[in-house]
């Protein structure tokens, strides 16, 4: 059972107020569950306000990395002395000292106090004697955090805490993750003192006379006796701890408070509060509730968001959408890092952003390389971030504009021609003719346009002596010839042909579209000629070669052939006789095609030729060259082909 913060505060307040409760209370929770946040932001303030009139002190001690009981003692004494100074100074000075004790400057204040005391030959370990004179330890509430992170042997540490409780009439609240507390092998010779029955948190009268002064050496001896007995933590806990409170914070309850306390930028605070549901959904999807992870992701988003917001682009909504996508990826990747999982693999090592749609976690659609870099190294290149985001939003805007123009085409209105009047249909057919003349239609629409005309004709629709079909076909042929689209031999078969049980419809369609099919085939043959001849020995490796590789890249992927189109012997001979600059053009052209992420699905046919060229590069071509710059170029070609072969065969 997990209690609310308010319920826990009520229990702990009752505990510290009732002197009959002599055991400690343990707040137990997983790392990152929000225990320390609860203690520092709620519990300490609550206890101080409740006990203000009683003149009782609240001391918070983190045991993280503590190596000796003496070190803890010194910390307690120093904290109490600082509290005394705060109370005695009063007014603004008191407030200033109190702020110091609650901040990072506390270390400085402690050091300064130690220096001042030692100037008078007063050692830190002697502070307890001064403290007993000036500060009353009775009734003090000590909160020990990070028990499991202490470097002190656990039984010795618990023995020390037990001594504090028994002989100083103080209250102790321990904050820890029990699952991480080290356990020792059990010793059969357990101290008789610890073989009692489990002690529950019940009011019990004090049976020991209160000792106001305790010799430090005796306290250490008792702590050592716990350690030397080899007692298991579970058995010591029976003596020391009366109640264990299981703590687990619901992120939703603490979300606003985390944003307010951890995020400095006001605009980022607003964004995180607006995106609260998105953030919480991502954590819930992956069943992760670590408070440190959410803080980690908040701080990363604050840093990256500050860069993204300075990208100059209109309209701003594209930037805002990109920031939301980045936030989602930051959270997803933060959870991966904090749970020890590997980062998502990148399909293309050269890309800065990739679509990573995952049906399981569909909210995270894009990966950003600069996010991976920042989360793992805290390094970020602002120029790369800005340029990446600018490229993305430009593409998104262009796509939306194309979609808007595409949606406005009149063929969409003609799909429901049965609901239109004849005059409306004629008007739309006229507009479609104009749109075709302006080359507004991609060839993928040609099938729908002609099929609509044929269906109208089969229903005896009156075209009023207008030859729409002939006009449409001529415009479509011109679009094929003048357009920059590339066509494979399968384009007609898979994108233009139709299948139907209506034989009349199919025959009519094929007859009308034959001129278009022929134009596509002719264009494809012309394109294929350029594609097939790219590695011809007479074609130089220059900027034009790079441009052709880039222009025909999709065609190579569609054909699933690139270097497999060449004669590898000719390539090797050409490498031998080429200058370094020509080889670099060759490398750039290859890289344009081979940088495809899932290359193993498209260009496996290139394997044999790549292996042949690599063999020749490794056995003579590089070493035989007398030019240093040519050797460098050939070595880079070898590296590119080795990496390509590795990705093809993965």
What is the DSSP pairing of strand 141-145 with strand 171-176? parallel
Q: CB of 534 within 8 A of CB of 545?
A: yes
For the ranges 73-77, 394-398, 587-591, 638-642, the lowest mean pLDDT is seen at 73-77
Model confidence at 351, pLDDT cuts 50, 70, 90, reads confident
Q: CB of 309 within 8 A of CB of 272?
A: no
Tens of pLDDT, residue by residue over 20-73, are: 888 889 988 888 777 888 888 889 988 888 887 777 888 999 998 888 888 888
Q: What is the dihedral of CA 64, 65, 69, 75, to 10 degrees?
A: -60
Please tell me the predicted confidence (pLDDT) of residue 640: 92
| Most confident range, picked from 181-190, 287-296, 487-496 | 287-296
Q: CB of 141 within 8 A of CB of 56?
A: yes
Whether 170 has a pLDDT exceeding 50, the answer reads yes
Tens of pLDDT, residue by residue over 520-552, are: 888 776 766 667 778 887 889 999 998 888 888
Please tell me the predicted confidence (pLDDT) of residue 495: 73
**In angstroms, rounded to a whole number, what is the distance separating the alpha carbons of residues 437 and 274?**
48
Please tell me the predicted confidence (pLDDT) of residue 451: 93
Q: CB of 524 within 8 A of CB of 489?
A: yes
Please tell me the predicted confidence (pLDDT) of residue 184: 38
Q: What is the three-class DSSP state of 58?
A: strand
Q: CB of 585 within 8 A of CB of 543?
A: yes
Which contacts (CB < 8 Å, 24+ apart) does range 439-443 have?
439/478, 439/479, 439/482, 439/483, 440/405, 440/409, 441/409, 441/411, 441/476, 441/479, 442/485, 443/476, 443/479, 443/480, 443/483, 443/485, 443/495, 443/496, 443/520
**In angstroms, rounded to a whole number, what is the distance separating the alpha carbons of residues 223 and 163?**
8
Q: What is the three-class DSSP state of 263?
A: coil
User: In the predicted model, what is the mean pLDDT of the chain?
Assistant: 81
Q: CB of 477 within 8 A of CB of 519?
A: yes
Closest to 532 in 3D by CA, of 554, 564, 491, 558: 564
pTM: 0.56
Tens of pLDDT, residue by residue over 429-481, are: 999 999 999 999 988 899 999 999 999 998 999 887 788 999 999 999 999 88
Tens of pLDDT, residue by residue over 384-414, are: 999 999 999 999 999 899 889 888 999 999 9
CA 334 to chain centre: 4
Which contacts (CB < 8 Å, 24+ apart) does range 306-311 have?
306/265, 306/268, 307/380, 307/382, 307/385, 307/386, 308/385, 308/386, 308/389, 309/267, 310/386, 311/386, 311/389, 311/390, 311/393
| Most confident range, picked from 120-124, 209-213, 457-461, 553-557 | 457-461
* Cα R_g (the chain), whole angstroms: 38
Q: Which residue has the tokens 């399981």?
A: 360
Please tell me the predicted confidence (pLDDT) of residue 129: 52
Residues linked to residue 186 through DSSP beta bridges, in sequence order: none
For 316-362, give the DSSP string: THHHHHHHHHHHHHHHHHHHHHHTTPPPPPPS-TT-SEEE---STTT
Closest to 565 in 3D by CA, of 557, 573, 575: 557
The residue count of the chain comes to: 650
Whether 163 has a pLDDT exceeding 70, the answer reads yes
Task: Please tell me the number of Cα atoms within 13 Å of 352 on its side-chain side.
Answer: 14
Which contacts (CB < 8 Å, 24+ apart) does range 10-15 have?
11/243, 11/245, 12/43, 12/46, 12/47, 12/173, 13/46, 13/47, 13/50, 15/171, 15/173, 15/201, 15/243
Burial 257-270 (b: 16+ CB within 10 A, else e): ebbeebbeeeebbe
Whether 233 has a pLDDT exceeding 60, the answer reads yes
Q: Where are the alpha helices (DSSP H) in 198-316?
A: 216-228, 233-240, 251-262, 266-274, 276-285, 291-308
**In angstroms, rounded to a whole number, what is the distance separating the alpha carbons of residues 343 and 372?**
8
- 9 versus 55: which is more confidently predicted? 9
């Amino acid at each position: 059972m997990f209690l609310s913060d308010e319920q826990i505060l009520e229990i702990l307040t009752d505990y510290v107020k009732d002197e009959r409760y002599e055991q400690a209370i343990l707040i137990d929770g997983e790392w990152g569950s929000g225990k320390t946040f609860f203690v520092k932001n709620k519990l300490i303030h609550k206890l101080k306000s409740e006990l203000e009139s009683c003149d009782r002190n609240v001391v918070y001690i983190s045991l993280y990395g503590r190596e000796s009981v003496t070190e803890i003692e010194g910390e307690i004494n120093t904290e109490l002395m600082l509290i005394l100074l705060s109370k005695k100074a009063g007014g603004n000075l008191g407030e200033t000292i109190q702020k110091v004790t609650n901040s990072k400057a506390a270390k400085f204040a402690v050091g300064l106090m130690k220096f001042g005391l030692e100037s008078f030959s007063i050692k830190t370990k002697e502070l307890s004697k001064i403290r007993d004179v000036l500060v009353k330890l009775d009734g003090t509430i000590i909160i020990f955090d990070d028990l499991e992170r202490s470097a002190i042997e656990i039984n010795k540490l618990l023995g020390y805490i037990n001594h504090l409780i028994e002989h100083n009439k103080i209250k102790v609240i321990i904050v820890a993750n029990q699952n991480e507390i080290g356990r020792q092998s059990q010793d059969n010779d357990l101290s008789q003192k610890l073989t009692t029955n489990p002690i529950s948190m019940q009011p019990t009268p004090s049976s020991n006379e209160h000792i106001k002064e305790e010799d430090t050496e005796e306290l250490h001896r008792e702590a050592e006796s716990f350690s030397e007995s080899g007692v298991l933590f579970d058995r010591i806990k029976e003596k020391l701890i009366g109640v264990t409170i299981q703590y687990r914070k619901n992120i939703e309850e603490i979300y606003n408070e985390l944003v307010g306390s951890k995020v400095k930028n006001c605009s980022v605070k607003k964004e995180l509060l607006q995106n609260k549901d998105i953030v919480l959904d991502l954590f819930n999807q992956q069943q992760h509730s670590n408070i440190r992870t959410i803080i980690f992701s908040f701080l990363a988003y604050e840093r990256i968001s500050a860069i993204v917001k300075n990208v100059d682009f209109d309209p701003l909504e594209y930037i805002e959408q990109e920031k939301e996508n980045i936030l989602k990826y930051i959270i997803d990747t933060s959870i991966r890092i904090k749970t020890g999982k590997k980062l998502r693999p990148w399909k293309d090592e050269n890309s800065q952003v990739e679509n990573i749609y995952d049906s399981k976690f569909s909210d995270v659609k894009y990966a950003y390389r600069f996010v991976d870099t920042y989360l793992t190294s805290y390094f970020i290149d602002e120029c790369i971030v800005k340029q990446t985001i600018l490229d993305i939003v430009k593409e998104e805007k262009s796509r939306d504009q194309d979609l808007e123009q595409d949606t406005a085409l009149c063929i969409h209105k003609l799909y429901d021609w049965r609901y239109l009047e004849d005059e409306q249909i004629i008007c739309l057919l006229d507009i479609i003719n104009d749109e075709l003349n302006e080359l507004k239609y991609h060839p993928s629409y040609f099938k729908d346009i002609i099929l609509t005309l044929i269906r109208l004709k089969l229903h005896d629709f009156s075209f009023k002596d207008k030859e729409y079909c002939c006009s449409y076909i001529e415009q479509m042929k011109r679009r094929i010839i003048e357009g920059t689209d590339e066509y494979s031999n399968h384009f007609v078969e898979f994108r233009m042909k139709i299948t139907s049980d209506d034989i009349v419809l199919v025959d009519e369609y094929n007859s009308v579209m034959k001129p278009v099919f022929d134009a596509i085939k002719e264009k494809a043959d012309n394109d294929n000629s350029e594609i097939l001849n790219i590695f011809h020995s007479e074609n130089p490796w220059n900027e034009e070669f790079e441009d052709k590789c880039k222009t025909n890249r999709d065609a190579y992927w569609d054909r699933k052939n690139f270097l497999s189109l060449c004669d590898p012997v000719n390539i090797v001979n050409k490498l031998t006789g080429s200058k370094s600059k020509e080889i670099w053009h060759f490398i750039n052209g290859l890289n344009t095609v081979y940088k495809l992420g899932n290359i193993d699905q498209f260009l496996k046919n290139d394997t044999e030729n790549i292996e042949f060229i690599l063999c020749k590069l490794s056995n003579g071509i590089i070493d035989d060259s007398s030019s240093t710059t040519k050797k460098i170029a050939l070595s880079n070609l070898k590296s590119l082909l080795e990496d390509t072969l590795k990705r093809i065969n993965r």
